[in-house]
Amino acid sequence: MCQNKKIMILSSFFSLRQSYLVLALIYGVIGTLSFSPYNFWPAALISLFGLQTLLLNKHFIQTSAIGFIWGIGLFFSGINWIYISIANFGRMPTAINIFIVMLLISYLSFYPMLFAILMNCFWPYPSLCRFSLAAPALWHITEFSRSYILTGFPWLQFGYSQIDGPLKGLAPLAGVEAITFLLMIITGLFAHAFYNRALKSAMAAITIIFICQWSIKLRWYQSIPEHSINIAIIQGNIPQSIKWDTKQLIHTLNIYTSYTHRWMDKVSIIIWPESAITDLESNQQPFLHALDHELRAHGSALVTGIIDSDIEHNNCRNYNSLIVLGDTESYSYHNQNRYQKNHLVPFGEFMPQEKLLRYLAPFFNFPMSSFSHGNYLQRPLRIAGYNFTCSICYEIILGEQIRENLHPDTNCLLTISNDAWFGRSIGPWQHFQMARMRALELGRPLLCATNNGISAVINANGNVEKMIPPFTRQVLNSKVTFTTGQTPYSKFGVRPVWLCTLINLIIANIGRRK
């Protein structure tokens, strides 16, 4: 009888523990629904609320497990599309591909686990200090760490879920990090209300949401109608499997030039996507000079992605670059009116410990994966008399880097990309959602030109003005109105969020000791 009772106690204990882990996994998966293409922004509140409530009254091992499993749910459901590029282009066995993806997901899940451990170690009791002060501060610190350690991977930050939600008005004030910070405060207040039956905490959370909803009406920029131009974005839709095939180069150039000829005289600026010209710039001098001459004769400018090769001290450096043709100044191979990508993607564009890794496995032998870093700060690209702050692919998700490269005379943001690596997955949609946030934060319109989609024009309020469907070969023609002015975020960046983090930790620490 006694033995049976012990078995029942053990059985109920493991059953209870597993239920917490299942809930943690579910809450993590729900978080993915808040991001594009699902765009169900309340899912961010549900996911973070679930995490905060599950962590209450748990010992160290339970806390660690809940934080880690919640992260597995979020990142497995949210970034599993990385497997597509590894499996399709890495040429490694399936088991190795799965291992690499799971290793990345496990690494990213370490950060919510760290948040959970710190919360329960220093603020174990369900107080208002824990939920409204300590939680947002610790979350900001762990998310910041995830964004910078080992080159950083700031994907699936919950602030992005609010690009069409009630908290979007906070972005021009203090950036996407401030939205994430406030989400943690709101969900913390709901968790406090749930656990302590504190109606006032729930009302405070709802009040914050309504105030932020009102702030969307604020405008931190001024439109300049007299500075409106017609643009054409050419979405070539070249399959990634043949993009770098040298036999396809002429065919690819013919696609882009044929569409370009149709829009000369009709638009001021024509935009080709990242590495639209799949060859070294030095090899394409006759083509580039001829196209430059033709464009200038028709009064149009063209900006395109290309591989810039620079020989210095007998050392050849390749840069993922943007160059301008057909502008008032004739094209020259040594023209400084160009942009070179700074933040390269590990393994895709540069190799950490290159000699060792290339020797170990063909997985690390992606085409054009030996780029050099451009300068962190670069002047705006001058196109058709206007200034464009540029980024290539992954860089558009780096809010602080884009902000620091924004000049007071920047008229527009421009990003080019090639998301064909990730197939017909949710990855490109998440990328596009983050790009929209940059326009909202900085109060500038944004032009997105991609090889296979999503190509679009986004206004200074982060809304999509016009877009063309992915995986189609089309031209997006639109009239773009430039803006001027500075948002608070463009001036101060995330400093206000760090100040709030410091103040919160000080007050929460004082409250913990009482």
* Active site residues per annotation: 274, 341, 393
285's CB contacts (< 8 A; 6+ apart) are 333
Looking at the DSSP bridge assignments, the partners of residue 319 are 308
Closest by CA position to 213, among listed 165, 172, 177, 171: 165
Q: Which two tokens stand for residue 95?
A: 């088991």
Give the C-alpha separation, 91 to 72, whole Å: 26
Closest by CA position to 473, among listed 185, 206, 273, 214: 273
Asked if the bond preceding 26 is cis, omega within 30° of 0, the reply is no
323's CB contacts (< 8 A; 6+ apart) are 281, 288, 303, 304, 306, 308, 331, 335, 337, 338
Closest by CA position to 391, among listed 382, 377, 375, 402: 402
Give the C-alpha separation, 316 to 97, whole Å: 32
Give the C-alpha separation, 447 to 229, whole Å: 12
Phi, psi of 197 (to 5 degrees): 50, 45
